[in-house]
Structure 1
Amino acid sequence: MATSQTQKFSLFALTAMVVGSMVGAGIFNLPGRFGAATGPFGALIAWAIAGTGMYMLARVFQALAEKRPDIDSGVFAYAKAGFGNYMGFLSAFGYWLGSCLGNVFYWVLIGSTLGRFFPDIFGDGSSATAIIVSLIGIWAFHFMILRGVEQAAFINTVVTIAKIVPILVFILALIFAFNFSQFSENFFGGPDMPPKPLIAQVRDTMLITVFVFLGIEGASVYSRFAKERSDVGRATILGFVGVTGLMVAVTLLPYAAMPQSAIAAVQQPSLAGVLEAVVGHWGAVFISIGVLVSVLGAYLAWSLICAEVLFAAAKSDDMPKLFAAQNGNRVPANALWLTNIVVSLFVISTYWSRDAFNFMLDMTSVTALLPYLLVAGYGILLARSGVGYETTPNERGRDQVFAWIAAIYTIFMFVAAGLKYVLLVAVLFVPGTILYFWARREQNLQLFTPTELIVFVVTLIAGLIGAYGLMTGIITP
């Protein structure tokens, strides 16, 4: 036991955690989602907005890791420090729920990837066979993770290196196949695409950009395992810069190889379809293998993060004490059990979804926005207060600007997502508040402050509207 207590993550392992969390399913779907929405010009604007916003958020995570080294598992703990217990709980629950939905999306993608080769069996990833295979996979990972976090983190590092290779091969193949006249024809939108205003083109790419940046906080969540506290911020920035470069290349290069309408029509994972069009069938097989390795690696990373968030929230009394329990391998076992039960239920629910693939992707993105907004908000409050800046007062103004830009970006993402997804997230938040009631009663503490009661009532009303919309068919998953 003493040995495992001293095992800590190096800068490389933390950076691999960020890259492993970010390079998952999303990057393999970028060509198709962007191709259906916009041409290269709109794509460049979208990446400029998303890259700036998420870079600012990464800088907020870096600043908070440096100025408040006493706060561990930062994503929800920052929200609690800045905005009180209930907002801290909503951030923790929202982040955990978004991670669960992301894990569901990974299994849907595995099913749709296999469906490329076995369409009658796996279909679009939500067939009965695909769901059974997903459930087997979920619980196989569950029992592996119960054997130890450090072992799983080592596997994640290895998988992270392995899954970058197909993406680099894709980029190199499309550089060699670059056709400037094709790229120029697609630049402002392909001639065979329906006309759409530039603002609408950019807006339609926003949720996929949020999804592919999820995991930027991977090092922050695992801050208690870092060898050096300063490595948390460095790993966040290193992971962000490297992955952003890959994502922009993967998005833009297909426009120089195919008409935009052909990119938009490619079956997901669209990276496989694009490479198949350029180099032949072996490209689809190669990328599909990469997708399976990548997604399983990302699923492992996010399973760890899910359990860690519930565990840390329970340790700080924001979740019931039940989830603070660890097994002999220092794995938060009860948190992992709840996570995988919820993931399994969501996987089963995809059977009734019209487009499980994109629905789960968009729901995951929107659910992550509230925790990100609260982190940015706390960054503003901390820089204004000066706490932690006693030795570096000259950094306060800079960090406040970064945090304001991150907050404005996150609010813009909520608007871009649309009311449907915000209401659906509220539907999930309302029953989740039962866990908050449970935790507060365990400690004999006041349930809500007056401000928190207003937040709860607003959430409840939004949840009821969302539930009504689902029951009447006004809102369809």
Structure 2
Amino acid sequence: MASTEQKMSKMQLTAMVVGGMVGAGIFSLPRTFANATGPLGAVIAWLIAGTGMYMLARVFQSLAERKPELDAGVFAYAKAGFGDYPGFLSAFGYWIGSCIGNVSYWVLIKSTLGAFFPVFGEGNTVVAIVVASIGIWLFHFMILKGVQQAAFINSIVTVAKVIPIIVFIVILIFGFRMDLFRANMYGGGLEGNIFEQVRATMLVTVFVFIGIEGASVYSRYAKKRSDVGHATILGFIVVTALMVLVSMLPYAVLQRADVAGMRQPSMAAVLESVVGHWGAIFVSVGLLVSVLGAYLAWSLICAEVLFTAAKTKDMPSVFAKENANKVPANALWLTNIVVQLLVISTYFSRDAFALMLNLTSAMSLIPYLFVAAYGFIISNRGESYDVRPEERRRDLIMASIAVIYTIFMIWAGGLKFILLSAVLYAPGTALYIWARREQSKSVFITSDWIIFIVTVIGAVIGIYGLATGMIEL
């Protein structure tokens, strides 16, 4: 149990949500959306993503209040609703996806510096990898000193990194040109209909919304359980407003094709085209602060998920150990070793940032689907609705929409990322087998065997696709 001085306030929990969501993704939105669609497609994409993620946020809020015994909710809900092995897959998928996301942060940091110092290139040169490696372990030892201290730093960083984004939005509002906005409306020059344009943005919208569950993951540190749900919704509203404005306003100051051709981080390039070189420097500094803050938040979340899964015997017990500062040290060590190996692997990647972004989204969708489905199950059964039973119908509708949304997003992401996810899930099952052997329990029940076999088949197809070039990284 966490000590009293380690408890987090509502504002700190909200900062965990905002800090987790406002990271690398928001600074890449102008070019990413301009490559895929115009303002009309962008509006449709945000309506779909915003509605789906809002419903998912409300499911998190409802479960936090109605199932207070389920801490670190992302994987705990999957286990409660579907069994031990699905619970493990949810925990592992969320954890490894978060590790991949952390790698994308380092790639973007070095790519940003590469615009000013060519030695960093696109973020995956030898020098970039060495500097990123130093950063990984500096953060590692800072977090080992205490979760509360790291959370306090995250709260400060969250405020600091939102300022450049707000300045960007304000300047573009003053530079708004309706004629340009209208000319870009239907994505002139793009092939494909609106539906295809919208689909091309889907995994990116998932990536920028990842972190919505930050308060839920840290529920065991909340001063009041009700703060978890309130922090989730408040963080969602703030970040959604920022992301919509950042992606839409560039259409009103530049031609869509010009934005689509910009170097990442494209927010810096857009502001530079409006106000001059100082705009690129200003946004780049904001990006560095933002991404480092998001990396801190996600390092905490990664270790917490692995630690909690080990505490509930879903992961090997070695990861359930805490140091004198109440930090899950072994879980943090494994997390950062994996991040380090992935950072080294980016040297061989053609477009490391895009790959890490899409794969992070694909890995996160499975855990999100389990959460939405569990919310649907308990509201459909009426379980835990002795208190405020009038909310049951509302919660059932919201959970249903969240389930439909996550299934649609998995489909929209495409078969490639489903197979790449299987390539990670299949060998990851070794940790589950290790944990079950420790407890002298049978590894799989019948339904688990079916899931495992399907996962292995997907992994084999994925590896074959990679080996033959059918799947390109």
CA–CA separation in structure 2 for the residues paired with 1:342 and 1:66: 34
Q: Which amino acid aligns with 1:88?
A: G
Taking the aligned partners of 2:467 and 2:326, their CA distance within structure 1 comes to 43
Matching residue within 307, 320, 326 for 1:330: 326
Distance in 2, Cα, partners of 1:439 & 1:467: 26
- Kindly provide the CA deviation profile for residues 80-125 of structure 1, in whole angstroms up to 9, marking residues without a partner as x: 0000000000000000011000000000000110011122x01111
**CA offsets per residue over residues 389-435 of structure 1, 9 Å max, x none?**
10211111111111110011001111111111110110011110000
Residues 127-182 of structure 1: CA distance to partner in whole angstroms, max 9, x if unpaired?
11111111110011001110100000000000000000000000011011101100
Q: How many Å apart are 1:6 and its aligned residue? A: 3.6
Name the residue aligned to 2:15.
16
**Residue number among 184, 193, 199 corresponding to 1:203 in the alignment:** 199
Equivalent in the alignment of 2:47? 48
Deviation at 1:126, TM superposition (A): 1.1
Residue number in structure 2 paired with 1:188 = 186
Question: Residues 233-272 of structure 1, C-alpha deviation per residue, up to 9 Å, x if partnerless?
Answer: 0000000011100000001100000000000001000100
SS in 1 for 2:122: coil
State whether structure 2 residue 287 is matched by structure 1 residue 288. no
* Map of 1:369 onto structure 2: 365
Task: Provide the residue aligned with 1:59 in structure 2.
Answer: 58
The AA in structure 2 aligned to 1:185 is: A
Alignment match of 1:279 (pick from 263, 275, 281): 275
Among 457, 466, 474, the residue aligned to 2:470: 474
Alignment partner, residue 161 of structure 2: 163
**Preserved CA contact (<8 Å) 2:322 2:329:** yes
- 8 Å contact from structure 2 (residues 32, 201) kept in 1: yes
Q: Which residue of 1 aligns with 2:78?
A: 79
Q: Which runs of 5+ in 2 are unaligned?
A: none
Say whether 1:128 aligns with 2:126.
yes
1:26 is matched with 25
Q: How far apart, CA to CA, are the structure 1 residues paired with 2:2 and 2:448?
A: 43
SS of 2:267 mapped into structure 1: helix
Q: 1:420 aligns with which of 416, 419, 424?
A: 416
Q: What is the deviation of 1:385?
A: 1.9
In structure 2, which of residues 159, 174, 192 is the aligned counterpart of residue 176 of structure 1? 174
In structure 1, what residue type is equivalent to 2:216? S
Please report the RMSD computed on the Cα atoms of aligned residues, expressed in angstroms.
1.0
1:179-214 Cα deviation digits (max 9, x unpaired): 110001001113xx2332111100010011000000
Alignment match, 2:113: 114
Question: Under a length normalisation based on structure 1, what TM-score does the superposition of the two structures give?
Answer: 0.98
- What is the rounded CA distance, in whole Å, between the counterparts of 1:315 and 1:5 in structure 2? 20
- Give CA-to-partner distance per residue, 1:307-353, whole Å, 9 cap, x none: 00000000000000000000000000000000000001111111111
Q: Secondary structure at the match of 2:370?
A: helix
- Compared CA separation, residues 58 and 469, structure 1 to 2 (3 A): same
Deviations 1:55-101 (A, max 9, x none): 00000000000110111000000000000000000000000011000
Q: Which amino acid aligns with 1:453?
A: W
Deviation at 1:3, TM superposition (A): 9.7
Deviation of 1:5 (Å): 4.1
The answer to whether 1:35 aligns with 2:34 is yes
Q: Tell me the distance in 1 between the aligned counterparts of 2:2 and 2:85.
A: 37
d(CA) in 2 for partners of 1:4, 1:376 = 31
Match of 1:137 in 2: 135
Q: Map 1:94-109 onto structure 2 (within 5 A).
A: 94-109=93-108
- Would you say the 8 A contact 2:2–2:221 is kept in 1? no
Q: Tell me the distance in 2 between the aligned counterparts of 1:117 and 1:240.
A: 33
Native 8 Å contact 2:2 2:220 kept in 1: no
CA distance in 2, matches of 1:387, 1:45: 35
Instruction: Identify which of 297, 301, 310 aligns with 1:301.
Output: 297
Partner in structure 1 of residue 92 of structure 2: 93
Distance (whole Å) between structure 1 residues aligned to residue 134 and residue 425 of structure 2: 28
Indicate if the aligned counterparts of 2:6 and 2:147 stay in contact, CA closer than 8 A.
no
Superposition pairs for residues 328-477 of structure 1, below 5 Å? 328-477=324-473
CA drift at 1:220:
0.1
Structure 2 counterpart of 1:308, one-letter code = E
Please point out which of 234, 240, 263 is paired with 1:238: 234
CA change 1:28–1:444 in 2 (3 A) is same
Give the letter for the 1:99 counterpart: S
Q: Which runs of 5+ in 1 are unaligned?
A: none
User: Relative to structure 1, is the Cα distance of residues 3 and 221 closer, same or farther in structure 2, using a 3 angstrom cutoff?
Assistant: closer
Whole-Å Cα distance in 1 between the matches of residues 127 and 465 of structure 2? 30
| 8 Å Cα contact 2:2/2:326 also seen in 1 | no
TM-score w.r.t. length of structure 2 = 0.99
Range with bigger deviation, 456-465 or 6-15: 6-15
CA distance in 2, matches of 1:14, 1:424: 32
More off after superposition, 391-400 vs 175-184: 391-400
2: CA distance, partners of 1:211 / 1:244: 12
Distance 1:307 1:396, change over 3 A: same
SS in 2 for 1:125: coil
Code of the aligned partner of 1:160: T
CA contact (8 A) 2:105 2:291 kept: yes
**d(CA) in 1 for partners of 2:282 and 2:387?**
52
Q: Which amino acid aligns with 2:22?
A: V
- Which residue identity does 2:187 align to in structure 1? G
